[in-house]
Chains A and B, each alone.
Chain A
Amino acid sequence: MKVSMKWLKQYADIPMTPAEYESRMIMTGTGVEGIEPLGEIENVVVGRVLTCRDHENSDHLHVCTVDVGEAEPLQIVCGAPNVKEGILVPVAKIGARLPGGVVIKKGKLRGVESQGMLCSGPEIGVPVELYPSVGTAGLLIFQEEYPLGADVRPIFGLDDTVIDFEILANRPDCLSVWGVARETAAAMGTELKLPEIKVQEVGGDIHDFARVDVLESELCPRYAAKVVKNVRIGPSPAWLRQYLYAAGMRSINNVVDITNFIMLETGHPMHAFDLSKVRGKHIIVRKAESGEKLTTLDGKEYALNGTELMICDEMGPTGLAGIMGGEESEITESTKEVLFECASFDRASIRITARALGIRTESSGRFERGVSPATVMDALNRACQMVNELDAGDVVSGVIDLYPQPVQPATLTVSCVRMARRAGVDIAPEEMEKILKKLLFQVERSGDQMVITAPAFRQDVDQEADICEEVLRYAGYDRIPITHLRGETPMGGNNDKGTRQQLIRRQLTGMGFYESMTFSFISSKAIAQLGLPKEDERNKPLMVRNPLGEDTACMRTTLLPGLLKTLATNIKNGNENGRIYEMGTIFDAQHRTADGLPTELPGLALGMYGNVDFYAIRGVVEALCQQAGISCTIASCDEPYLHPGRRAALKVNDQVLAVVGEMHPDAAARFDLSGRCYVAQVNLPVFFAASRPMGTVNSIARFPAVNRDLALVMKESQQVGPLMDAIRHGCGALLEDIRMFDVFRGIQIGAGNKSVAFSLTYRAADHTLTEEEINRQTEKALKIAKEQFGAVLRA
């Protein structure tokens, strides 16, 4: 919220530099985004054009002599069409600064020296609000007399500073000059000088002029109105236009400006109706009827659905309550009677309507955050006082004030000791009392107990903790000491899942993998690119109702699309030999928790490309399994995005622990992957369930092992894994290990065959094996190979 420093200083002194003020306000809880001069001009003065002749080398330039109150007049070349002798204009002297960082230098224009510049309104940043006769063509010509050489900034009110306050959500009362003045006075320790409100009325009775009925008192707890007759519409005085300009608002006319001034000054949004356009001179506050329409002040038409709170007359809607008035009853040049509305509306109702219609105004923003009904009359009377001051009309006696259930000021009893303990700061009860009184709370203290009544403008205080904060922010957050937690110390540490995930991260780091993080939402299109069967549950993700776009439309059911996108980015960027993983949550919308939430599962996806193959990615997963003490079997899988001849499922206890494989060229193309990529997805819940906790350690065998190498010739189509499994199971306890170490293909062993070399390790725990025992084992292995797999010893 932007506030003119001049305006603020009317109500509270600021006896320090802007930087000190900013710091003090921030440390007492009123944020300051910035303090900037209102006008960005320097060294621009009032000057009179003494002479003006045509430039000898130009058909549009003029050469002028200009008196800026110095001994000698300046010679200035000017191209404005309206330049002539005798006019009083703003003159940017040599060295002047203009908006946009422009600096005026001495120069020559077509051979004639120019010692400055005569300025138009836009050139010195003066809009029509600050100087109505500014015009759009040519120089700004002053209408009044000013001393020659005088700084022009005070003439336009640009000699002001704008403070941009950042008001916290619980302090809507501070969305006003009075509000920040109250905080300023308390923070500065200076006197708060709010105006005395006095209204001069001309008699008559408001009830003869207008009638108000509130049909929705829940949504409109208070509605107050005053009537002004013999309205004299005209421009506002300069100071009012300047205050509004500093706040970023446009000046319209004296009556409308008064309502905006009151909103900015008191925080109470107001509205002014042309009473002659209020049909039946009867205001009715009710909900819209479905199908009703309203054209607002900005000329836009809205169709209403029946939930909106409306200000209506006897014929229909004439304003969106608390948001924007209607065009119909707008104040115009010919307005003679005005009804000023000052009301309090339900926060949620205003918020819902403003959001639904997509309108956000200064007024709706304040009502959404809460406008106290208790202070409505102060604002309304202040508006009437302004009518008196600006002589904008005659205030009719009497008020319409519909306030069936007056809000009682919050009164609470608090303990000073408890508050000091909560804050952890030793603050004496006397100091607490002093602070609260400075903040306009009523305080009755007896010893430790204080009975506190909040001021009417504060709606945010209803418990001791709130009072504690009020005390603490003025006692100073810097006074909070540093102490350490006491009492029973719980056992700190990570949970099981976190610890296991961290272990996997470390292992993958050791295997050369980099961790990536991608968004939790993806597009349905990205899932579709995997080419999964229609009925696959990954095709039925949790949808976001209000996504930012297609890319944030649904919660990921698999980490793969995100990972593939990352791989594609890296390949495109020429990064060689990528090894990337992501560990993150995937969302299963088809299986809900008791609360109706989707099931969230930890997932792990890995990707590799470059100098690697299927066995490399399978090996990474197998290595993770080995570390976790999991022995898994390799089975076929039918994930359609993987190469049909290079894909596998790793299973444990009949559950799929991981799927690994090379990307199918079609799917790879859909994800813009050039070259072969290898991916794996690990089902972490299955992985964790199968993980073996660190158990007992086996002692190291004392008797020697014996190795026998066998080369077995078998059909190319024969998988090696099942054969090794069969030998492992068939040979019994003496076979310690079987390892494959070579595969040979060549004409010696016949086309369509392969020779696979194995190394078998035998060992007994309790004796040295005899030759006979070893041979018996080997015979057993050869028999299994031949009978079950048609594999024979290579000749």
Chain B
Amino acid sequence: MDIRENLAQIGEELKQELAQTDASQALEALRVKVLGKKGSLTALLRGMGQLSPEERPKMGQMINEAREKLTALLDEKQAQLAAREKEMRLAAEAIDITEPRDLPPIGAEHPIQLVLNEVLSCFEGLGFQVAEGPEVELDKFNFELLNLPKNHPARDAQDTFYIDDNIVLRTHTSPVQARTMLTKKPPIRIVCPGRVFRADEVDATHSPVFHQIEGLVIDKDVTMADLKGTLDAFAKRLYGSDIDVRFRPSFFPFTEPSAEVDLTCFNCHGQGCRVCKGTGWIEVLGCGMVNPKVLEMCGIDSSVYSGFAFGIGLERITMLRYGIKDMRLLYEGDLRFLKQFR
């Protein structure tokens, strides 16, 4: 049998054996059997010594070509096996993707804080700077500089907690207005969020502690239309572009003219429903042009500057926003409630 035939036979045998091999171990044995030191192809190479010098290069080339071919066959099979083995491993690793597991812990900010964040972001975008003032406040800032002298009946609307004759728990965030005007020069554009206190017993719609956000703008030629525009932007940002604002005449000692502001009912979009008591409007905040007397008391020339102020009750807009029926839920801290704001 000449080498050529041998090579053909080796190739044929390998093909047959490869067809029956289905494990990488067996494949490796096969590789050794053919290409290893004692393998059949290696034996042929060794037998080349008996060939004539003329035949050797020719045969050598033939054997090398055969080796490449056989190696390719083995490699191809190896790749096939590896792919199949990976597939089997992946199949074996399959899991029940519907089994429940604990989630990574995630908390939530308080709903009032969530709404405040949105309100602040809206006003910050309009160029308002956040300002703060003390929660325990001088009567002077809480009332007197806001045109609410001692024994003024308008103080009745704000049942006040007193520390002593001169110190109160602030009944609104408006004293921050006075503090700001006394220390800053116009133009002023601030919002002041914070806690306020009124001597109301706790029930579904009252709490002795609640939150407001106050806004104040002082500049030359500020008009009530600018106030309406600012609040319109706020309303649309918070509740949607189909929400309009309506001003109604009202009275606050520190603004003149004053207005109560209604927004289109976001439950019924103005059609009239239970939430808005059929009116299509929801009362949300009070506002007005800063009373010139307040400007003067706070050292701002009312013949040069004008301004507006507004005060928003955060509990109210939070409750409206999320459909919360009972204010007490906001202060109990029950996780079954708080978890709904994740």
Contact = CB atoms under 8 A, between A and B. Distances in A.
A521 B169 CA distance: 10
A421 B153 contact: no
Contacts of B293: 463
Interface string B150-180: 1101101100011110110100000000000
Given A478-B246, A485-B217, A502 B167 contact: no
A577 to B, nearest CB: 8
B125 A548 contact: no
B138 interface: yes
Nearest to A487: B219
A514 B339 contact: yes
B136 A169 contact: no
Given A485-B127, A544-B169, A570 B335 contact: yes
Interface string A566-585: 10011001010011101011
A545 interface: yes
A424 B107 contact: no
A671 interface: no
Interface string B209-243: 10000000101111111111110110000000000
B131 A473 contact: no
A473 B249 CA distance: 6
Interface string A358-370: 0000000000111
A520 interface: yes
Contacts of B225: 423-425, 480-483
Interface string A497-516: 11000100100111111111
A715 B21 CA distance: 62
Contacts of A519: 208-209, 331
Interface in A506-549: 508-521, 542-548
A494 B120 contact: yes
A652 interface: no
B153 A369 contact: yes
B125 A597 contact: no
Contact of A352 (B128, B151, B256): B151
Interface in A561-604: 566, 569-570, 573, 575, 578-580, 582, 584-585, 587, 593, 595-598, 600
A575 B340 CA distance: 14
Contacts of A548: 199, 201, 208
Contacts of B131: 495
Considering residues B113, B125, B134, B224, which has the most beta carbons from chain A within 10 angstroms of its beta carbon? B224
Interface stretch (A23-31, A285-293, A296-304, A747-755): A23-31
A552 B163 CA distance: 12
Nearest to A462: B293
Interface string B101-134: 0001111111011000100100111111111101
A468 interface: yes
A458 interface: no
Contact of A498 (B105, B130, B164): B130
A469 interface: yes
A783 interface: no
A526 to B, nearest CB: 15
A598 B135 CA distance: 10
Given A421-B221, A465-B256, A519-B331, A485 B107 contact: no
Contacts of B108: 509, 514-515
Contacts of A585: 135, 195
Among B228, B257, B258, which residue has the most Cβ atoms of chain A within 10 A?
B257
Given A468-B257, A493-B124, A505 B130 contact: no
Contacts of A597: 134, 136-138, 167
Interface in B298-320: 306
Nearest to B195: A520
A170 interface: yes
A688 interface: no
B136 A579 contact: no
Label chain B's interface by main secondary structure: mixed
B129 A490 contact: yes
A485 B226 contact: yes
Nearest to A466: B256
A423 B257 contact: yes
B58 interface: no
Interface in B62-94: none
B333 A169 contact: no
B332 interface: yes
Interface string B248-262: 111101001111000
B197 interface: yes
Interface in A160-217: 168-171
Contacts of B125: 492
A425 B224 contact: yes
Contacts of B129: 490-493, 495
B333 A518 contact: yes
B291 interface: yes
Interface string B136-156: 111000000000001101101
A464 B117 CA distance: 38
A491 B127 contact: yes
Contacts of A478: 246-247
A493 B107 contact: no
A422 interface: yes
Contacts of A497: 132
A423 B308 CA distance: 11
Contacts of B48: none
B96 interface: no
Of residues A483, A495, A498, A596, which shows the largest number of chain B Cβ atoms within 10 Å of its Cβ? A483
Nearest to B105: A512
A489 interface: yes
B46 interface: no
Contacts of B199: 546, 548
Most chain A CB within a 10 A radius of its CB, from B106, B125, B226, B339: B226
A480 B136 contact: no
Contacts of B253: 169-170
B139 to A, nearest CB: 11
B294 to A, nearest CB: 10
A482 B110 contact: no
Interface string A338-376: 000000000110011000000000000000111000000
A510 B249 contact: no
A472 B224 contact: yes
Residue among A169, A468, A492, A502 having the largest count of chain B Cβ atoms under 10 Å: A492
The CB with the most chain B CB atoms within 10 A, among A168, A424, A508, is that of A424
A293 to B, nearest CB: 25
Interface centre among A27, A425, A498, A520 (most CB of B within 10 A): A520
B224 A348 contact: no
A514 B256 contact: no
A72 interface: no
Contacts of B291: 465
Given A516-B333, A518-B331, A566-B332, A485 B338 contact: no
A198 to B, nearest CB: 35
A424 B223 contact: yes
B236 to A, nearest CB: 10
B222 A485 contact: yes
Nearest to B154: A169
A280 to B, nearest CB: 33
A515 B249 contact: no
A512 B336 contact: no
B153 A169 contact: yes
Nearest to B295: A465
B221 to A, nearest CB: 7
Nearest to B217: A485
B192 to A, nearest CB: 10
9 contacts: A423-B224, A423-B225, A423-B257, A472-B249, A510-B107, A514-B339, A555-B136, A580-B333, A597-B136
Given A424-B226, A579-B107, A585-B195, 7 more contacts: A465-B292, A480-B225, A517-B112, A518-B331, A521-B208, A548-B201, A555-B169
CB-CB nearest 8 A-B residue pairs: A512-B105, A424-B225, A424-B223, A29-B249, A516-B333, A469-B257, A566-B333, A348-B151
